[in-house]
């Protein structure tokens, strides 16, 4: 199949690219591949939304019915101790952390609405068709992508339902897979896009949606916390967003540069909810949704080159999230808008795709990311020093300090041997406020076709038992949020049917022995209004 432009991923970056392309040139033939069963099925985000990029892309979004209703009305920031909390004055927060002009939204629903706008413009969207392979021309440039063969059993044999994958060729292919995209990962390595850049940094983010009583609900309230239950050396914090319909979006983020292999991010999130400052908001409420997703936090010093022959790498596939702002949707959309402008000039005037870099550096997204560059690396000094430095950097100097801090190592390199770290005992879930992994994965709607090839691949099948278990206590049992990995009778078991595509294993495994690839189309979580 031949197209002018093929886009991999129907998230905010990919959809913005497609819409802007059709605005610039309606005759362009554009398609989007999406691995989820529907647009939004794999979208997970806080989400306090800044409309800046949407205002540029679709200025009449209010009149056209965008699902953006709940304006931020009040903000809080708490430092948590084990038994107490300290409220931080909001006027002392850096301007990047203030949200008075923003909205509490479901990003999944916004993407569904953006997809509707895209289809009105004649853009073809193919949900349930994951791009599994990058295709190359003889000169090494990108030719397009191939979708995954469907209907294979776990041994690679054809079942009755077998369907051969399709090749999609394009003048330009755009990769907008989200954080730790498996094709983006391949492209960064093949084209040395990260040459001269700092190692990329990640976090694991959790989100639950709770229905609470009217008395406990404050529509428009945005609250963030730092501190307990994490120690001062481990980066992380929470968000509590009071959305519409008496719902609370509750989430927790932990940097994947943590040191202790006994740490379980999922259980830290559950333990966080037991703090009285949080539990009182949830008392008598009902958890109706759960999800988890890796997020990219390296900032501009880890941002790879975003162009290559025949292709562009955009959004969180590259790493455009603004970490101190705790937002990545508006920057992903802007990177897509710039991608569309670049492609338009490439097709119309044969301009080289390298003009993307010039356009990017001249835009507000570059200025925003450059001002935020020193926040994440400063937390490698610990919570207190990180907060003090961030105050100096963001409040006094507004991100204009005359130096750039470095990320010294990749997240998987931070893990210390189990023998050097204390074991962590987590309380059993009560089923009312705290929950186990099994009941949590049930809420994600995750499903994979039975007897299909395992999409979590081991470079060395013997390594988990022969090395990782002995050296690190096999941390995959704990860093995976849904219990995909287990040790059973000295065997390393992969329950791939539980996988919610968070990519944490691909990032945190200390020997980089686990590789996540796209499973059969439509598999994985089926998030609703996350």
**pLDDT for the residue numbered 522:** 85
Tell me, yes or no, whether 116 and 166 share the same domain. Answer: yes
What pLDDT band is residue 97 in, cutting at 50, 70 and 90? Answer: confident
**pLDDT for the residue numbered 339:** 98
pLDDT cut 90: percent of the chain above it: 97
The answer to whether 28 touches 4, Cβ cutoff 8 Å, is yes
**pLDDT for the residue numbered 94:** 85
Tell me, yes or no, whether 382 and 399 share the same domain. Answer: yes
State whether the Cα torsion 80-81-84-90 is positive or negative: negative
CA 71 to chain centre: 23
Tell me, yes or no, whether 20 and 119 share the same domain. Answer: yes
> Of the candidates 240, 234, 201, which has an alpha carbon nearest to the alpha carbon of residue 217?
240
Tell me, yes or no, whether 381 and 356 share the same domain. Answer: no
What pLDDT band is residue 521 in, cutting at 50, 70 and 90? Answer: confident
**H-helix or E-strand spanning residue 330:** helix 329-349
CATH of the domain at 136: 3.50.50.60
The pTM (predicted TM-score) of the whole model is 0.97
Cis peptide before 43 (omega within 30 of 0): no
**Over the stretch 336-351, which tens digit does the pLDDT of each residue have?**
999 999 999 999 999 9
- Asked if residue 50 belongs to a domain, the reply is yes
What pLDDT band is residue 449 in, cutting at 50, 70 and 90? Answer: confident
- Asked if residue 277 belongs to a domain, the reply is no
Tell me: pLDDT of 117 over 90.
yes
> What letter would DSSP give residue 380?
G
Domain of 164, in residue numbers? 2-63+108-199+299-371
Q: How many residues does the chain have?
A: 530
Give the residue carrying structure tokens 């990032």: 507
- pLDDT, mean of residues 401-429: 97
- Asked if residue 396 belongs to a domain, the reply is yes
- Asked if residue 179 belongs to a domain, the reply is yes
346, 371, 396 — which closes off a domain?
A: 371
Tell me, yes or no, whether 344 and 387 share the same domain. Answer: no
Question: What ranges in 191-306 are assigned the alpha helix state H?
Answer: 265-272, 276-282
How far is 95 from 101, CA to CA, in rounded Å?
Answer: 12
What pLDDT band is residue 392 in, cutting at 50, 70 and 90? Answer: very high
How far is 456 from 448, CA to CA, in rounded Å?
Answer: 13
> What letter would DSSP give residue 528?
S
Tell me: pLDDT of 56 over 90.
yes
- Asked if residue 399 belongs to a domain, the reply is yes
**pLDDT for the residue numbered 377:** 96
- State the number of CA atoms in the 13 A half-sphere of 368 facing the CB: 24
Assigned token pair, 361: 């550096």
How far is 40 from 105, CA to CA, in rounded Å?
Answer: 13
User: What value, to the nearest 5°, has the Cα angle with vertex 84 and ends 79 and 87?
Assistant: 40
Tell me: pLDDT of 362 over 90.
yes
- Asked if residue 81 belongs to a domain, the reply is no
The answer to whether 32 touches 145, Cβ cutoff 8 Å, is no
- Asked if residue 414 belongs to a domain, the reply is no
How far is 280 from 344, CA to CA, in rounded Å?
Answer: 53
**Can you spell out the DSSP letters for 347-371?**
HHH---TTHHHHHHHTSHHHHHHHH
The CA-based diameter of the chain, rounded to the nearest angstrom, is 65
Give the residue carrying structure tokens 């990769």: 175
How much is the CA Rg of the chain, to the nearest whole Å?
22
């Amino acid at each position: 199949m031949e197209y002018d432009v093929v886009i991999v991923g129907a998230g905010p970056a990919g959809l913005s690219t497609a819409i802007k392309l059709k605005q610039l040139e309606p005759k362009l033939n554009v398609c989007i591949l999406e691995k989820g069963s529907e647009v939004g099925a794999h979208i997970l985000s806080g989400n306090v939304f800044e409309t800046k990029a949407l205002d540029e892309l679709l200025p009449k979004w209010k009149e056209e019915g965008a699902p953006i209703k709940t304006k931020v009305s009040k903000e809080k920031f708490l430092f948590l101790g084990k038994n107490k909390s300290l409220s931080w004055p909001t006027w002392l927060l850096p301007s990047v952390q203030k949200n008075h002009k923003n909205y509490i939204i479901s990003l999944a629903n916004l993407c569904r609405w953006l997809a509707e706008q895209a289809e009105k413009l004649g853009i073809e969207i193919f949900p349930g068709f994951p791009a599994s392979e990058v295709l190359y021309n003889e000169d090494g440039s990108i030719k397009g992508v191939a979708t995954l063969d469907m209907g294979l059993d776990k041994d690679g044999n054809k079942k009755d339902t077998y369907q051969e994958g399709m090749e999609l060729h394009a003048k330009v292919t755009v990769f907008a897979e989200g954080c730790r995209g498996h094709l983006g990962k391949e492209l960064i390595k093949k084209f040395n896009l990260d040459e001269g850049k700092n190692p990329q940094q990640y976090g694991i983010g959790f989100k639950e949606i709770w229905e609470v009583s009217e008395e406990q609900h404050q529509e428009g309230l945005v609250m963030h916390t730092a501190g307990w239950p994490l120690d001062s050396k481990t980066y992380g914090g929470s968000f509590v967003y009071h959305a519409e319909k008496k719902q609370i979006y509750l989430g927790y983020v932990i940097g994947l540069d943590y040191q202790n292999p006994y740490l379980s991010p999922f259980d830290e999130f559950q333990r966080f909810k037991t703090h009285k400052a949080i539990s009182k908001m949830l008392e008598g409420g009902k958890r109706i949704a759960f999800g988890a997703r890796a997020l990219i936090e390296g900032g501009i010093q880890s941002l790879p080159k975003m162009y290559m022959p025949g292709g562009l790498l955009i959004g969180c596939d590259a790493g455009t999230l603004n970490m101190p702002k705790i937002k990545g949707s508006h920057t992903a959309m802007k990177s897509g808008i710039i991608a569309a402008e670049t492609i338009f000039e490439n097709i119309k005037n044969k301009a080289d795709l390298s003009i993307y870099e010039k356009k990017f550096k001249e835009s507000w997204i570059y200025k925003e990311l450059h001002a935020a560059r020193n926040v994440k690396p400063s937390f490698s000094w610990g919570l207190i020093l990180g907060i003090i430095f961030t105050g100096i950097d963001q409040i006094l100097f507004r991100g204009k300090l005359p130096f750039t801090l470095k990320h010294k190592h990749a997240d998987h390199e931070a893990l210390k041997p189990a023998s050097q770290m204390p074991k962590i005992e987590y309380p059993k879930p009560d089923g009312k406020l705290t929950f186990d992994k099994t009941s949590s994965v049930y809420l994600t709607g995750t499903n994979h076709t039975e007897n299909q090839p395992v999409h979590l691949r081991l470079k060395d099948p013997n390594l988990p038992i022969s090395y990782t278990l002995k050296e690190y206590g096999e941390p995959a049992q704990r860093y995976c949020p849904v219990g995909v990995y287990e040790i059973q009778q000295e065997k390393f078991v992969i329950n791939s049917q539980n996988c919610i595509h968070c990519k944490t294993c691909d990032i945190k495994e200390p020997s980089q022995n686990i590789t996540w690839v796209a499973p059969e189309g439509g598999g994985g979580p089926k998030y609703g209004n996350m």
